[in-house]
Amino acid sequence: MDDDTNDDTNDDTNDDTNDDDPDSRGQDDDRMRLIPRELARTRPWDLVVRFAFGAGVSALAGVVSLVAGPALGGVFLAFPAILLASLTLVAQREGPRQAYQEARGSVFGTLGLTGFAVVTTVMAARWPVWVTLVAAAATWVVFGLGSYLVSRVIARRVGG
């Protein structure tokens, strides 16, 4: 954890060059943590890029829905542009190894995303919108984060 703070002072200047940094960010420290001060390391531009990717994909899905119908537009609701933006930014800032780890973790999120779509399809005709979306979001949490946690347990048991 202490390692996380060491490069706070030079994050803007060395981000593109210090491929050693990922190793200093915890040597694959596997503890699950929410560290609000990590947000201070994030460049505002990175957040702008993510917002732009999200808005762009949503607009694309909206235009396809208008032109070809909501079902075809819906395909783009699971377009991997956000991950693409995240991977390129992480690779640039923290090195390819961290991007690789993030890509591996995203597999679990897509399991939740599939559950989200199925639950929404099944519930949308019968339940109010808010109930449907809350249930779908809960499904994402259970499947996405749940499968991630199960994978950690399995990895630890296999690793001894």
Partner 1 sequence: MARLIVEVALKALAGGLFVLGFAVLAEMMTPKRLAGVFSAGPSVALGSLLVTAVLSGQADMRAAADGMRAGAVAFFVYCLVAPPLLSAWGVWRATLAGLVVWAVTAAGAYLLLPRP
Site for partner 1 in 99-138 (CB under 8 A): 99-114, 116-118, 120-122, 124-125, 129, 132-133, 136-137
**Could you say whether residue 142 binds partner 1 (CB under 8 A)?**
no
Report the amino acid identity of residue 78. A
Q: Binding to partner 1 (CB under 8 A): which residues in 50-89?
A: 50-59, 61-63, 65-66, 69-80, 82-84, 86-88
Alpha-carbon distances of 104 from 101, 125, 128, rounded to whole Å:
5, 35, 35
Report the amino acid identity of residue 94. E
| Nearest distance in Å: CB 63, partner 1 | 6
Alpha-carbon distances of 65 from 53, 62, 82, rounded to whole Å:
18, 5, 20
**Could you say whether residue 44 binds partner 1 (CB under 8 A)?**
no
Which of 9, 34, 45, 160: binder of partner 1 (CB under 8 A)? 34
Which of 12, 13, 16, 36: binder of partner 1 (CB under 8 A)? 36
Distance, in Å, from the CA atom of 61 to the CA atom of 108, rounded to the nearest integer, reads: 23
Distance, in Å, from the CA atom of 126 to the CA atom of 34, rounded to the nearest integer, reads: 37
